[in-house]
């Protein structure tokens, strides 16, 4: 249980109104909003290189090794698929079967875009008169930070309020040869094609775009696919990936990695249920076994900050148990680890600290997307969570398969194109969760997320006229329930 302690304020004047530790999306959003509201702000950011030497500039995980490069490489893989679709639409593409991506050019293009964002971010901080300190910060007391600068000098800075927004980094398994594997921190700047790749454990998106780019991709899964998501949808995502050529090794964990004489990596693994052992060789091994909060360098014990599982405990106002120290983003315990969540939480915190606002961050019904080859997006509750909270007899699940118009001519598989609405069974049937598997999933679900926040009901949804022909309209066509046992497969797209 988090207990509040009042930080003792030193008598001397602070150098800043706010110090933000961490130059990622949440920290930058908080710093910039604080300046808008009249605060004097400093922002610290420092990136430790990975074991393979990868490092990057200002902007945090999302910009450098997360959302941005992932979406760009996902788009590259979709364009490759579109080349084949185009032929069915009458485009003449000479020697189409021999078209392949140039990994080096793709990486260079992605890195050029990232560096442009790094530069724009630096300029933005300068223009807003936020002091940027390229150094590693640690607490000396609740108002004072010791900064170890990139040039090996040290500097001490102080502020009335401090926000921790350092985020996290990928975990490595505790097995022999773990250092031979890379993580998502390295993949997007990899200087050679990844070749035959093993991804351990939750890197579905990376496996998807690597397969789309023509590389052999295998995912080793310890337990369930997409933990925390609706499991019907999660399994359909995995099945659709198999249809796209991604391989899965289920119920297995790696035991060791060894480099071979052929410069490949021999991975030995074991099935956790049967204890049967196996092995295979790969050109690249990528760890995707979760992320850890970057708390070890902050010296949080010196001021008594309470932690849980390498994350910082905060209250509804993003406040730690030390009254002038706050935290936002992936470093906080129990919050969704999503860039827009960190940004919004950071802005609202700055407005409360410096703009006389009382608005708190609402963490309910946050939409998200998995950029798998056939994308999955959702907002609200999974079917399992709704049944657990409300009881199976008190919820109604509407569902249906559909056929995207653009899939018809190239005869693409529609086997896993599916939508589902989880709703209360009584009254106007308030929507508890929406789930969509299909093309451009994030674009589809974003508008519906606003509707769910506004109290969307099935009565309203069924009375909404869809835009035809689109995949988003499939939500407005939902009328078959799982309880009815009726076939959710459509007979026609236009009636």
Which stretch of DSSP H or E encloses residue 187? helix 184-187
CA 123, CA 21: separation in Å to the nearest integer?
18
Residue 485, number of CB atoms within 10 A of its CB: 8
CA 196, CA 214: separation in Å to the nearest integer?
10
Burial, 1: exposed, middle or buried (Cβ in 10 Å; 0-12, 13-18, 19+)? exposed
Distances (CA, A) of 58 to 24, 31, 61, 170, 345: 7, 14, 9, 18, 20
Q: Is the dihedral of CA 187, 369, 292, 295 positive or negative?
A: positive
Burial, 256: exposed, middle or buried (Cβ in 10 Å; 0-12, 13-18, 19+)? middle
- Retrieve residue 341's tokens: 């969540």
Q: What are phi and psi of 175, to 5 degrees?
A: -140, 160
* DSSP bridge partners of 396: 423
Q: Does residue 52 carry a catalytic annotation?
A: no
CA 122 to chain centre: 24
Binding residues for NAD(+): 290
CA 446, CA 16: separation in Å to the nearest integer?
38
Binding residues for FAD: 71, 137, 330
CA 331, CA 495: separation in Å to the nearest integer?
49
- Retrieve residue 85's tokens: 């679709």
Binding residues: 71, 137, 290, 330
The single residue of 143, 250, 344, 468 carrying the catalytic annotation is 468
CA 26, CA 131: separation in Å to the nearest integer?
17
Which stretch of DSSP H or E encloses residue 356? none
- Retrieve residue 206's tokens: 């990376």
3-state SS, one letter per residue, for 40-102: CEEEECCCCCCCCCCCCCCCHHHHHHCHHHHHHHHHHHHHHHHHHHHHHCCCCCCCHHHCCCC
- DSSP, res 129: T
Nearest-10 Cα torsion for 381, 248, 254, 51: -80
Residue 290, number of CB atoms within 10 A of its CB: 11
Residues assigned a catalytic role: 468
């Amino acid at each position: 249980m988090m207990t509040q302690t009042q930080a003792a304020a030193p008598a001397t004047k602070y150098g800043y109104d706010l110090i933000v530790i961490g130059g990622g999306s949440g920290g930058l959003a908080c710093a910039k909003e604080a300046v808008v509201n009249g605060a004097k702000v400093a922002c610290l950011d420092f990136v430790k290189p990975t074991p393979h030497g990868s490092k990057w500039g200002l902007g945090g995980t999302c910009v450098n090794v997360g959302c941005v490069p992932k979406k760009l490489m996902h788009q590259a893989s979709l364009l490759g698929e579109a080349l084949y679709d185009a032929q069915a639409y009458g485009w003449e593409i000479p020697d189409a079967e021999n078209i392949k991506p140039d990994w080096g050019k793709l990486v260079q293009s992605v890195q050029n875009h990232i560096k442009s964002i790094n530069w724009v971010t630096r300029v933005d901080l300068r223009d807003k008169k936020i002091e940027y300190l390229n150094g590693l910060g640690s607490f000396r007391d609740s108002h004072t930070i010791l900064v170890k600068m990139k040039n090996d000098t040290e500097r001490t800075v102080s502020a009335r309020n401090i926000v921790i927004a350092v985020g996290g980094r990928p975990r490595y398994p505790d097995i022999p040869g773990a250092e031979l594997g890379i993580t998502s921190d390295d993949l997007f700047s990899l200087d050679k094609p990844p070749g035959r790749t093993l991804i351990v454990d939750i890197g579905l998106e990376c496996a998807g775009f690597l397969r789309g780019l023509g590389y052999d991709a295998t995912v080793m899964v310890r337990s369930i696919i997409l933990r925390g998501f609706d499991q019907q949808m999660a399994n359909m995502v995995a099945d659709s990936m198999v249809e796209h050529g991604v391989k899965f090794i289920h119920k297995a964990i790696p035991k060791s990695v060894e480099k071979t004489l052929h410069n490949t990596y021999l991975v030995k693994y074991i099935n956790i249920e049967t204890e049967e052992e196996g092995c295979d060789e790969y050109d690249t091994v990528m760890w995707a076994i979760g992320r850890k909060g970057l708390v070890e360098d902050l010296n949080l014990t010196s001021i008594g900050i309470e932690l849980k599982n390498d994350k910082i405990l905060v209250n509804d106002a993003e406040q730690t148990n030390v009254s002038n120290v706050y935290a936002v983003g992936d470093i906080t315990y129990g919050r969704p680890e999503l860039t827009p969540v960190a940004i919004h939480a950071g802005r609202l915190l700055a407005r409360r600290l410096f703009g006389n606002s009382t608005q708190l961050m609402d963490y309910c019904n946050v939409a998200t997307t998995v950029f798998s080859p056939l994308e999955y997006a959702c907002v609200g509750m999974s079917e399992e969570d709704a049944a657990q909270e409300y009881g199976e007899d008190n919820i109604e699940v509407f569902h249906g398969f559909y056929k995207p118009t653009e899939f018809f001519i190239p005869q693409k598989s529609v086997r896993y194109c599916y939508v589902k609405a989880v709703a209360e069974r009584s009254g106007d049937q308030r929507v508890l969760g929406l789930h969509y598997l299909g093309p451009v999933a994030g674009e589809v679900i974003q508008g519906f997320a606003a509707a769910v926040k506004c109290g969307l009901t099935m009565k309203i949804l069924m009375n909404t006229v869809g835009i035809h022909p689109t995949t988003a309209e499939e939500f407005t066509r939902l009328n078959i329930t799982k309880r009815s046992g009726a076939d959710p497969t459509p007979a026609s797209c236009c009636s």
